[in-house]
Amino acid sequence: MSLAAAPCSAAEKPLRERILEGLKSSFHTPWHELLDKEHDSEWRNLFSGLTVSSSFNYPLSRTAPASSEGSGNQGSRTTRNRTLNLGFNYNPLSYWFASVNFSGYLDPDLKKPWNPDFTYVFGYNDWHPWTLSLVYANYGGNRLNPDRDAGERRTSFDQGSWTLGWKTPPSERIQDWFRIHPSSRIGCNVGLSVVPSYLDLKSLEQRKWKKVVRLGCRYSFYKNWYFNIATAWYPDRDQQQPWDPDFTWGFGYFDWRPGKFSIQYNNYAANRFPWRDDREFTTRLKDGSISISWKWSF
């Protein structure tokens, strides 16, 4: 009896082949799936691909935000306000998605113009290694009921960011260095973000085309327990605002499965590298927040 050679697994394929496969599969759009009915009920088909999440966010510091944390409807993503959040994520096909998150503030006196009533994100984001992603995100001071007299707007679409990303996992040798459990894994992503319009705090004028290069890595060291860090480089340093961080970081327990709870710490403060001149923004644990979340999928 002859034995045929077993096909190579993805991990055994040459690196060049894996990279090309990831690039070729990016932005795949199987339109025929829109016509496929997963359920007999039309209502279930209508809501198929929808995930609902709820969370409570508790900041470790609840002091009034400093003036350097934002201006107008632009500012830091860190929050000094306890919030209740309700999110909706819709994934109609493949890895195309759209999501919106609504926030209610429990300390109204601490709410600032750049603290949003809602945020929204959409685009294409495939979790597989070596794939490209393209995502638009708007975390500005969006308002459900804008005060026109105060200059508020429902949203400023041109002040959101467009990010072209690429999943770039470390080599297996590096993975082995950090493997403390069979489930240990590191995933990284490099991306270029552009913001068509942004506020320059020094001149208080709207400027064009802020550019940021980002590198982020997530280390899942034991099952759903993880640590992540993301760094940012501004090709034009003058475009970096006081609330724009050099890096962000977080850790916690995250379970993506419906019906499961997650607890996470995130720090989106204006963290600075130690060698920067404005080191008063160097990260502190109390500048982050803890969130407890739960999700459910149709």
What is the CATH number for 265? Answer: 2.40.160
Q: pLDDT category, 1, cuts 50, 70, 90?
A: very low
Q: Look at the chain and report how many structural domains it folds into.
A: 1
Is residue 93 one of the residues assigned to a domain? yes
244 pLDDT more than 80 = yes
Is residue 30 one of the residues assigned to a domain? no
Residue 146 belongs to what domain range?
A: 47-297
Q: What is the pTM of this model?
A: 0.91
> Mean pLDDT across the stretch 167-182?
95
Is residue 4 one of the residues assigned to a domain? no
Sign of CA dihedral 287, 220, 258, 40: positive
- DSSP-derived secondary structure for 214-244: EEEEEEEEETTEEEEEEEEE-SSGGG--TTS
Is residue 271 one of the residues assigned to a domain? yes
Is residue 14 one of the residues assigned to a domain? no
What residue has token string 């005060």?
A: 147
9 pLDDT more than 70 = no
- Write the pLDDT tens digit of every residue in 218-227: 999 999 999 9
Is residue 38 one of the residues assigned to a domain? no
CA 83 to chain centre: 18
- Write the pLDDT tens digit of every residue in 49-76: 899 999 999 999 888 787 788 888 899 9
Rounded Cα distance between 88 and 86, Å, is 7
In 3D space, the residue among 227, 233, 232 whose CA is nearest the CA of residue 266 turns out to be 227
CA distances, 140 to each of 37, 68, 162, 175 (Å): 37, 16, 14, 36
